[in-house]
Structure 1
Amino acid sequence: MRAFVITGPGRAEVQEVEPPTPREGEVVVEVERAGVCGTDMEFYSGAMTYLHTGEARYPVRIGHEWAGIVREAGDGVDPAWLGRRVTGDTMLGCGKCARCGAGRQHLCADRYEIGIRGGWPGALAERLPVPARALQPLPDAVDPTLGALVEPGGNALRAVRAADLAPGERLLVIGPGTIGLLAALIAAAQGVQVHLLGLTERSLDFARSLGFTRTWTAPPAEPFDAVLDASNGPGSPAPGRHVVFIGLSADPSPVDTRRLALKDVTAVGVLSASGGLAGAADLYASGQVDPRPLVAATVSLAEAAIVLAGERRPEWGAAPKIHIDPRLP
């Protein structure tokens, strides 16, 4: 089968590789759609932290935002999965430790991460092996585009839940990228008053095209009930009753714990979509949240390298997400 393989910093190619065979407890998914995110771009550039800690190494087969159809099932897998449209959890815990037993497999010390950690192959390929326990079935109303947005949507949903806001309360989202915009869409669907803080008018123009009129390029002085930091900058966010950190900066963030204590702030970190996949799929299926406008284009495996290098065609516009369809020639 064809798979996109990053062989080193700035080097990648589409290769013919052996297709996966499902092991016990696993299925093989025919990939319909896969999203490209900042983590994938860091693998391509060589900046990804796991490459320097030994948790990943070249060659890397990326792709952890995906949707597809179950085509094969290994021993011990319910055959009812065959033919079902699915997405799945990126985080594959060992299933034996205390964290996995408590439903926190995304923090398992021995976890694999699909397309990211431990050499588990990713979804920029025609087929993908996945443990059946990690599968998330997709409702009929969730097409491949929406299905590949369930994983980032699950991250955003968990962040909005952590903000713990009631309808009418005020949320400042820092960073109008894919996760920030998904969080804004989810919060707005819950009746929260959403404000967006970005660096450029171009990114905020796109946010305004989605209906967000409260936008800023400098931190506003007004108070907020919660702040959700989906940026990759190291600066401390504006104060709020709850502060949610989901973006990762290249440099350590200088958070003053005295501010947290003196303002009685709850600070929450969010890692992964684990626990948010089903909720995101339901929001899409119901029509409460429609993230399709976030997808600028869908391209082939052969075009993935230019996307990872940060190149954009003018006709793609300002939408932040690019999808890959491995079935395209």
Structure 2
Amino acid sequence: MAREFERRQPQPPLTLPTLGKVLGNFVEQDEDSKAQEILPTPEKLTTKQRLKEKLKRKFFHRKQIIVEKIVEGLGIFGAPDIRVGGKENLEKALELTKGKNLAFVMNHTSNFDTPALERSLKKIGFGEIVPKLIYLQGIKLDKNPVAKIFLGGFNRIRVWPPNLPAENETEKIERKKMTRESLESAKRALGEGYFLGIYCEGGRSYNGKLKEVEPAAIHYLTMQPDTIVIPVAIRETDKVLPRGSFIIFPAAPVNVNFGEPIIISFLLQEYQNLPNDEKHKKIGDFIMGKIAKQLPEEYRGVYV
């Protein structure tokens, strides 16, 4: 199925120019992002600038190698085992979407959730999806230099978290602008054959249980009515990379399960008479409920 999908939907390699074209200028633009701003062409540089850019590229390449090793789970004490279920649901979703407008919605307990998702895709033969995944990432992570480097190995769209208040008028303007541009970028990415990765709880759960959905995150799923959502349940990552730790521990096998595809247009029709905020809350609760069903009862939290 993975090979059939690759033939059916040929996509260009995820080069910096390709991703920049899809996401415009709103992708993360620093040295710590795979989607950083394209460097000036060599013929336009002075000798000094050329040397500086050469060093920047060398640093970026070396840092990416380190990040990729972390992504592969090469922790100091060994690599955690990844157990994957629901491959048939992923195959069904790819068949329905023909490679476009597909989003992965996951629960969130650890900064290892993203690497776990990508390792699970590779393990079941869908590695071609990985370079096309683009994650929504809250700007709060920029304040943590270690997390910024670690998560800089993934394609990302920076978003203003719904639970982060704007403290002054300038921040209110910036929040509004960032929200508008991130929505536009996500919509464009979906339409161009990239896949969104979204954590809809507004941040990590520190007790391992599901938190209530943040309705604002659902906006990114309803922009394209034909979006298909794969609800992904991830478990035990909080033991592999605990809160506050920078070391990966193979403490327990990580479980990643892909649930049955959810067709957003059906939910929009179901809740069409509700105000937007209430509509998004209902859709979010439905998706989180599907994630909850894939988890043991003690992890279901508010969706028990």
Q: TM-score range by the shorter chain?
A: under 0.3
TM-score (norm 2): 0.26
Bigger helix fraction: 2
TM-score (norm 1): 0.25
Bigger strand fraction: 1
Using CA pairs below 8 Å that are at least 6 residues apart, which structure has the higher relative contact order? 2
